Amino acid sequence: RPHIVFVLADDFGYNDIGYHAREHCSQMYTPFLDSLAAKGVKLENYYVQPICSPTRGQLLTGRYQIHTGLAHGIIKAAQPYGLPLDNILLSQQLRKCGYKTNMVGKWHLGFFREEYLPWNRGFQNFFGFLNGGVNHYTRYHCEPKKTRRFCGYDMIDSRHGPINSTYGEYSTNLFVRKAKEMIDRHNKAKPMFLYLSLQAVHGPLQVPNQYLKRFKHIKDRNRKIYAGMVYAMDRGIRQLVKHLKRVRMWKDTIFIFSTDNGGQTTRGGNNWPLRGKKGTLWEGGIRAVGFVHGKPLQLNGPMVNHELLHVSDWYPTIMSATQCPLMVGTQNVDGYDQWDTIRKNKISKRTEILHNIDPLHKKLTIGSEYREGFDVSVRAAIRSGGWKLLTGYTGMNAWVVPPECKVTNITDGQVTDDFYTYPNSTTNIRLFKISEDPYERRELSQQYPEVVNLLLARLKEYNTSSLPVSYPRNDKKADPQLHGGFWLPWRGVGKKYKKKLQRKAHRHRNVNK
**Interface residues with ligand NAG (CB under 6 A)?**
153, 164, 167, 357, 359, 374-375, 378, 409, 411-412, 418, 421, 423-424, 463, 485-486, 509
Residue type, 456: L
Catalytic-role residue among 52, 141, 202, 355: 52
- For ligand NAG, the closer CB: 187 or 424: 424
Question: Least Å distance between CB 357 and ligand NAG?
Answer: 6
Q: In b/e form, how buried is each residue of 487-498, taking b as 16+ CB within 10 angstroms?
A: bbbbeebeeeeb
Question: Least Å distance between CB 375 and ligand NAG?
Answer: 3
CA distances from 474 to 254, 278, 477 (A): 40, 24, 9
- For ligand NAG, the closer CB: 306 or 507: 507
- For ligand NAG, the closer CB: 115 or 412: 412
Can you tell me the distance from the alpha carbon of 103 to that of 92, in angstroms, rounded to the nearest whole number? 12
- For ligand NAG, the closer CB: 304 or 444: 444
Residues whose CB is less than 8 angstroms from the CB of residue 317 and which lie 6 or more positions away in sequence, other chains included: 335, 336, 337, 338, 339, 342
Question: Least Å distance between CB 339 and ligand NAG?
Answer: 34
Polymer length of the chain: 513
Question: Least Å distance between CB 26 and ligand NAG?
Answer: 17
In DSSP notation, 423-487 reads: GG---SEEEEETTT-TT-----TTT-HHHHHHHHHHHHHHHHTPPPPP-PPP-GGG-GGGTTTB-
Question: Least Å distance between CB 362 and ligand NAG?
Answer: 13
Catalytic-role residue among 108, 141, 293, 483: 108
Q: Is 108 a catalytic residue?
A: yes
Question: Least Å distance between CB 165 and ligand NAG?
Answer: 8
- For ligand NAG, the closer CB: 296 or 485: 485
Closest by CA position to 272, among listed 394, 422, 408 = 408
Q: Is 52 a catalytic residue?
A: yes
**SS3 sequence, 325-384?**
CCCCCCCCCCCCCCHHHHHHCCCCCCCEEEEEEECCCCCCCCCCCEECCEECCCEEEEEE
At 35, is the secondary structure helix, strand, or coil?
Answer: helix
Can you tell me the distance from the alpha carbon of 239 to that of 5, in angstroms, rounded to the nearest whole number? 14
- For ligand NAG, the closer CB: 225 or 478: 478
The residue nearest ligand NAG at its CB is: 485
Q: Which residues are catalytic?
A: 52, 108
